[in-house]
Each structure stands twice: as structure tokens, then as C-alpha cells.
Amino acid sequence: MTTPPVLSRREFLVGSAAALAIAPLAAAAVPEPVIDIHQHTNYGGKRDTAWKQIFPARTDEDLIAHQRAMGVTKTILLPAGRQVLRASTHEGRSNGLEGTCTSNDACLELTRKFPQAFAFGANEVSDLAEAPTVVEKYLKLGACIIGEQKFGVECDSAEMQKLYQLAEAYHVPILMHWQAGSYNYGFSRFHQMLAKYPKVNFIGHAQTWWANIDKANVDDPKALYPRGKVTPGGLTDRYLRDYPNMFGDLSAGSGEGAFKRDPDHARAFLERHQDKLMFGSDCTDVTGETALCSGARQLAQVRAFAPTKAIERKLLFGNAQKLFRFA
């Protein structure tokens, strides 16, 4: 057996100091992964009534920098549908997802440029006759989700059910923007769709979804951003509890406010639904700084309110990785 060399005290101290100096650098080089399930291309601009963009939106370069600033390692890009004048788009008001967000091709193009950083969704105005054909085209190209569905239609309409059937056939979730009086009508009836399509994973998002963590009026468009203490057991709470195929998107000001309004309830809610919730940002700024960015603030809230580190990792990474089958 070879006798190991004996280090002098000076050699030992120098070697130990070097090891301690290298360790934090190595740890910093491999940040904990974060999946953001809700972002958009060309987001944050303004347009006139002729749909011409009159205020610049966030560029792809800004979006990339924004996601890096937040520490996001994988982002799902959610496209808008086409620009049409009809009741489901409120005669054009909700074109571009009520803004200047671009459609399927822009999300596909950015994903193909940066396949490790981005994934893309498939979307179309729900009640267009060709909507299933358009959505299926992009599902065949690799879209990992249908949505963001943000149109003025009944949640149980025949047109929406065609999209649910596509989601089932292609094994992808469908993300729905719930906003009483504006988008996806009939939240109180949605349990019928959850039961009818048990193999479809639905993701809830936006004002009415988050207002109804509390026992509130689900059809009240004037109560989209409630404040104050939460009484548990609202419809959203029950959907998450009772239906294995119901999930929640933590994004936007509605998601941020739902947790900020009652931190004690937030901690209990995150623990109760720790396997059903996923981080999303859905924010329009270009910096990713908490002073300006609801996504960054929600990221901080998750880290502050998650009861354990294991639950935090589920919310910021594990649940989305499992649902979207990311490697």
C-alpha cells in the first residue's frame, strides 16, 4: 500500500482556502432551474382601432434578457389567434390577446432559434370554423400546449369542446384565461367539462380564476381583484381539490394579488395544492426587476410563502416539468 503524502500546515491551509473559494463559484454556475409556463412575444405594446401598433412592444431580445434576469431556464410562449372582427374578439378588442401579442408563427420561430430556452403553444380564435385545423397544424409541429385561450365564448360550447378533444388527442394541456364578463363564460359550470374530459389537463389563469380561491360571486365582473382575508373553499379551491386534471397558473397581477392579499392563506393554499400549481410570469416589462415586474414579484412570493424548499421546487420547476414532459 502506498503511504499518502503528508501536507504541511501551510499547504493544508492554502488548499482549503482554494477549495472554499471554488465551491460558491461552482454552485453559482448551476442555478436551480425555473420553468415559466406563461409568456408572449411582442408583448406590452399598444395599437389603434385599425390594429396598427402605435406603441412599441417588447422585442425578442428584450424578452430573452427579461427571462434571464428572472433566472428562468425554460419559457413557454403562448400565441394569440388571428385578428378578426366578431363577437368572440369583442369586435377586435381582444385581438392579440387584448394587446399586440403575436401569433403561432412568431412563437414557433423564436423556439426554433433557442430550443433549449423556449417551447411554444398553439392557438386560434375559438369559434372560427378553421380553429381546430390551425391548432392541430402547430401541435403537429411540436406545440406543447393549446392557449392562451382568451376569447368571449362559453366554456362548454361545441367549439371549445373541439379544442378539448384536440388536447386529449395530442396529450397537451389547454390554458384558459377566466375573466367574468369578458373571456370563457360559465366558470361555475366548468366542472362539467372537467368531468367530461378527464384525460385533458386544464390550466386555470387570470382574474376570475384567482378571485375564486375565496367564496365569492363567480359571475361578478366588478370583483376581479378582491382584497382582504380569504375564506377558503371557493370554486377554484374546489376544482383543484376535486379534479386531478385541473391545474393553476400563478402568473400576472391576478396571481400576485391572490397571494399578497392574505399571506397566511397563501402558505396554506400552496401546501394544499403543491402538486397542481406552476409558476408563470405573463408580465410586459423589459427588466425583470421586482419594482416593475409582477412576474419577478410572484417568483419572490413563491419563495417566501412555499412552506418547504421541496414545495418551492415543485411550483417553480417540478410540476411543469412533469406536466409538459420536459427532459
Share of the chain above pLDDT 70, in %: 91
Q: Which of 40, 106, 48 is nearest to 77 (CA)?
A: 40
Q: Which of 111, 124, 161, 147 is nearest to 247 (CA)?
A: 147
Q: Dihedral of CA 126/78/241/233: which sign?
A: negative
Distance between CA atoms of residues 275 and 318, nearest Å: 9
pTM of whole model > 0.75?
A: yes
What's the pLDDT at 30? Answer: 55
| 7: confidence class by pLDDT, cuts 50, 70, 90 | very low
- Name the CATH code of domain 60-71+129-324 (choices 3.20.20.140, 3.20.20.370, 2.60.120.20, 3.30.2350.10): 3.20.20.140
pLDDT for residue 78 is more than 50:
yes
What's the pLDDT at 219? Answer: 80
Distances (CA, A) of 266 to 112, 215, 299: 37, 15, 13
In this structure, are residues 287 and 304 in contact, taking their beta carbons and an 8 Å threshold?
A: no
- What does the pLDDT look like over 241-272, one tens digit per residue? 999 999 999 999 999 999 999 999 999 999 99
